C-alpha cells in the first residue's frame, strides 16, 4: 500500500463540482442540437475524408431525458503528454457510466493507443478509481504517443473492442490525439462496428481551444505551478541582484503557457513566439531586443532580471522555421535520405550528411547555430514528424548570443554592466501536479459529460464544458463535432486533416494586456509572487481561473 501524504489523504475526499444540469439529472439529459456545422477551413477535403461525421451539430445538454440504458462496456485511453486532472476525467467517466447503469464496466487500456491495439487492459473498479481521485499524473493507466494510423492498427483496435464487447471508446488527448479519435470514429462507422468514439480536450499547452472549447485541461494547474516557481526565482533575483535568469517554458509551438505565466508574475521580459513570427524577426533581432533591455537595466545598476522563453520560439523565427521544415522533410520516414542518415553513428557525419542536402539559405541558418543546437535539431522527431522543441536548449542559445553581443558593447564602451546568467527549463515540474480545484472540477465534468454523450448515442464528438469563468453550477456541458475543428496541414511531407492548433492571438485580450505593461516590467522590478496552489481556503485563493481564461471569457 502506497504511503499517502497528509495533503493526498485530505484531497482524496474532495468532491468535484459538476454543471447543474449533470448534478441534478445525472447523465440522463436531453440533447439539444445546433444547425449542421462546418470545419474551420478546407471544408470540401474534410467532408470527403469524414463523410459520416462531417457537419454534425453541436450538442448541448438540457434537463429532460430518462433512458433505460443497458450495461455498457467502455474503453478509455490517455494519449500524449501528461496533464494534471487526467485521473479525474476517468473518475467522472466512471461515475457517469455507473449512473447510466451500475452494471456498466470501464476498461482502461494501458500506455495509450498502443494498449488499445495490443489489448493491454485493466478493469477500472470503484477501488481503483477511488485511489486516484483528485491526484495528478497519468499513472493509473499511463499514456503513449503512438498513433492508430495504418489499416492493421484500426483492425487491431476493432479486434480488441470485439474481444471485450466494448461499445464506446474515450480518447483523452490533445489536438493530434483527437484528430486520431476522429479518424477512429469514421472508421467505426465505415465498418459498421457500432462502436462510439468520444474525445476529451487535454494538454498543458493550452493550444487545443477555439470558439467552442474554452481551455484544455491541465493548463490551469501547470501554469500555476510554473508561476509559483517563477515567482520564487524572481524573488531570488531581486534578493541577490546578480543574475539574469532565462526560463524556458514548455508549451510546444504555442506561447500560451509563457504568456499566462507572464501575466501571473510580471517578469522583466517574456518573448511571445507568435509576435516574433508576425514581426518576421531574425534571431539577431530577437537577441538585440533582449540586449537593449539588459543594457538599460544595467545603466540603472540593475544587473539582474528574469526572461521567459516559450519552448517553441526557434520554430517561429522565419529563417529557423524554414530550416526546421527542410530538416523535418529530410528526416521524415519517407525521405530517401533517412536510411543513410540513420546508419551514421557520429554527430559530425550526420551534420555533414544533412548540411549537403539543405538549400543555401537553410544551410546558412544551420551553420550560424552552435554545434550543440545543431545536433539537438537533428534529434528524433515525434510520431507526428515534428521536431521535439522541448529538447532544444533555446535558453542556453540566447544566453550565449547575448553574452557575445554584450561583450562587443563592452569593447565599444556602450555597456558597463555585469552579465551573469542562469538557465532553467520548466516543463515536467508542472505536468503531473495535483490538479487545482478548477482542473479537478473541470476534468471530472469532462469525463462525466463523455459518459452522457455515450448514453445519448453520440460518436465523433469532443466532450465540452463551457462558461468556465462562472461558478461550476452554471457551466454548460455538451459535445462539439471533432470535424468542426479541422483543417488541412502539412505532416510527414503531405497535406493531412488535423485539428487546428490555437496559437496566441496577438489581437486577443491576454496578449494586449501583457503588451500594455511590458515596458514598465522591463524597466522596473514589478514582480508578482503567486505562491503555491492552494486546495483548501477562501475561494478567492483556491478557485480562481487562469488569467488567460478570465481575459478571454470573463
Ligand atoms: P501534449 O501536447 O501531448 O499534451 O504534450 C505536451 C508537452 O508537455 C509539450 O509541452 C512538450 O513539448 C511535450 O509534451 C514533451 O513531450 P515528452 O513528454 O515526450 O518529452
pLDDT digits 0-9 by tens, 453-472: 999 999 999 999 999 999 99
Q: What is the pLDDT of residue 333?
A: 83
State what percent of residues in the chain have pLDDT above 70.
Answer: 99
Q: What is the pLDDT of residue 66?
A: 73
Higher pLDDT, residue 487 or 495: 487
Q: How far apart are CA 450 and CA 72, in angstroms?
A: 13
The finding on whether 472 has its CB within 6 A of some atom of ligand 1 is: no
For residue 315, what pLDDT band results from cuts at 50, 70 and 90? very high
Q: Is 153 a catalytic residue?
A: no
Handedness of CA 16, 546, 306, 232 (dihedral sign): negative
Q: Domain 27-218+435-491: give its CATH code.
A: 3.40.50.450
In contact, 266 and 237? CB cutoff 8 Å? no
Q: What is the pLDDT of residue 5?
A: 94
State what percent of residues in the chain have pLDDT above 90.
Answer: 90
Higher pLDDT, residue 415 or 329: 415
In contact, 392 and 376? CB cutoff 8 Å? yes
Q: What is the pLDDT of residues 100-151, one digit of tens each?
A: 999 999 999 999 999 999 999 999 999 999 999 999 999 999 999 999 999 9
CATH fold of 219-431+508-553 = Rossmann fold (3.40.50)
Residue of the CA atom closest to atom 12 of ligand 1: 252
Q: What is the pLDDT of residue 329?
A: 87
The finding on whether 81 has its CB within 6 A of some atom of ligand 1 is: yes
C-alpha cell at 456: 445519448
C-alpha cell at 271: 518573448
Residue of the CA atom closest to atom 17 of ligand 1: 81
Strand partners, 461: 198, 481
The finding on whether 386 has its CB within 6 A of some atom of ligand 1 is: no
Mean pLDDT of the chain: 95
Q: How far apart are CA 328 and CA 357, in angstroms?
A: 12
In contact, 447 and 91? CB cutoff 8 Å? yes
Q: What is the mean pLDDT of residues 12-29?
A: 96
Q: What is the pLDDT of residue 334?
A: 82
DSSP 221-251: HHHHHHHHHHHHHHHHHHHH---EEEEEE--
E strands of 114-221, at which residues? 121-123, 143-144, 168-173, 196-201
Q: What is the pLDDT of residues 111-124, one digit of tens each?
A: 999 999 999 999 99
The finding on whether 436 has its CB within 6 A of some atom of ligand 1 is: no
Domain ranges for the chain, please list them. Answer: 27-218+435-491, 219-431+508-553
Strand partners, 105: 73
Please tell me if the domain spanning 27-218+435-491 has the same topology as the one spanning 219-431+508-553: yes
Among 173-177, 301-305, 345-349, name the one with the lowest average pLDDT. 345-349
In contact, 31 and 51? CB cutoff 8 Å? no
Amino acid at each position: 500500500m502506497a504511503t499517502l501524504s497528509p495533503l493526498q489523504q485530505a484531497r482524496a475526499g474532495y468532491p468535484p463540482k459538476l454543471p447543474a444540469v449533470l448534478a441534478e439529472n445525472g447523465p440522463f439529459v436531453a440533447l439539444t442540437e445546433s444547425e449542421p456545422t462546418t470545419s474551420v477551413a478546407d471544408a470540401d477535403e474534410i467532408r470527403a475524408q469524414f463523410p459520416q461525421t462531417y457537419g454534425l451539430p453541436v450538442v448541448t445538454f438540457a434537463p429532460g431525458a430518462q433512458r433505460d440504458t443497458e450495461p455498457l462496456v467502455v474503453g478509455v485511453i490517455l494519449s500524449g503528454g501528461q496533464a494534471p486532472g487526467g485521473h479525474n476525467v476517468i473518475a467522472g467517466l466512471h461515475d457517469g457510466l455507473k449512473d447510466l447503469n451500475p452494471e456498466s464496466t470501464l476498461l482502461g487500456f494501458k500506455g495509450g493507443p498502443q494498449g488499445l491495439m495490443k489489448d493491454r487492459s485493466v478493469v477500472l473498479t470503484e477501488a481503483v478509481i477511488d485511489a486516484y481521485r483528485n491526484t495528478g499524473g497519468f499513472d493509473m493507466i499511463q499514456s503513449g504517443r503512438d498513433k492508430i494510423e495504418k489499416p492493421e492498427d484500426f483492425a487491431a483496435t476493432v479486434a480488441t473492442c470485439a474481444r471485450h464487447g466494448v461499445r464506446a471508446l474515450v480518447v483523452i488527448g490533445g489536438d493530434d490525439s483527437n484528430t486520431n479519435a476522429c479518424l477512429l470514429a469514421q472508421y467505426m462507422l465505415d465498418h459498421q462496428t457500432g462502436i462510439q468514439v468520444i474525445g476529451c480536450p487535454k494538454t498543458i499547452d493550452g493550444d487545443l481551444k477555439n470558439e467552442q472549447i474554452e481551455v484544455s485541461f491541465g493548463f490551469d494547474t501547470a501554469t500555476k505551478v510554473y508561476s509559483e516557481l517563477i515567482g520564487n526565482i524572481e524573488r531570488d533575483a531581486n534578493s541577490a541582484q546578480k543574475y539574469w535568469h532565462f526560463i524556458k517554458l514548455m508549451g510546444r509551438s504555442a506561447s500560451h503557457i509563457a504568456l499566462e505565466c507572464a501575466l501571473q508574475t510580471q517578469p522583466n521580459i517574456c518573448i511571445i513566439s507568435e509576435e516574433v513570427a508576425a514581426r518576421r524577426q531574425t534571431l539577431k533581432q530577437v537577441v538585440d531586443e533582449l540586449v537593449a533591455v539588459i543594457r538599460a537595466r544595467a545603466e540603472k545598476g540593475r544587473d539582474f532580471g528574469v526572461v521567459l522563453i516559450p519552448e517553441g520560439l526557434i520554430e517561429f523565427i522565419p529563417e529557423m522555421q524554414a530550416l526546421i521544415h527542410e530538416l523535418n522533410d529530410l528526416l521524415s520516414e519517407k525521405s530517401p535520405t533517412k536510411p543513410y542518415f540513420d546508419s551514421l553513428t557520429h554527430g559530425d557525419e550526420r551534420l555533414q550528411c544533412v548540411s549537403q542536402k539543405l538549400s543555401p539559405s537553410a544551410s546558412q541558418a544551420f551553420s550560424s547555430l552552435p554545434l550543440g543546437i545543431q545536433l539537438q535539431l537533428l534529434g528524433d522527431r515525434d510520431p507526428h514528424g515534428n521536431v521535439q522543441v522541448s529538447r532544444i536548449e533555446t535558453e542556453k542559445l540566447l544566453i550565449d548570443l547575448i553574452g557575445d553581443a554584450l561583450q562587443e558593447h563592452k569593447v565599444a564602451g556602450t555597456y558597463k554592466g555585469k552579465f551573469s546568467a542562469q538557465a532553467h527549463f520548466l516543463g515536467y515540474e508542472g505536468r503531473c501536479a495535483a490538479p487545482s480545484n478548477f482542473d479537478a472540477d473541470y476534468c471530472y465534468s469532462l469525463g462525466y459529460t463523455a459518459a452522457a454523450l455515450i448514453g445519448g448515442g453520440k460518436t465523433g464528438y469532443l466532450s465540452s464544458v463551457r462558461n468556465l469563468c462562472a461558478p461550476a453550477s452554471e457551466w454548460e456541458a455538451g459535445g462539439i463535432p471533432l470535424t468542426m475543428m479541422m483543417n488541412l496541414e502539412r505532416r510527414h511531407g503531405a497535406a493531412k486533416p488535423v485539428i487546428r492548433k490555437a496559437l496566441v492571438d496577438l489581437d486577443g485580450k491576454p496578449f494586449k494586456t501583457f503588451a500594455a505593461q511590458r515596458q514598465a516590467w522591463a524597466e522596473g522590478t514589478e514582480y508578482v509572487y503567486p505562491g503555491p496552489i492552494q486546495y483548501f481556503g477562501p475561494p478567492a485563493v483556491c478557485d480562481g481561473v487562469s488569467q488567460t481564461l478570465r481575459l478571454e471569457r470573463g
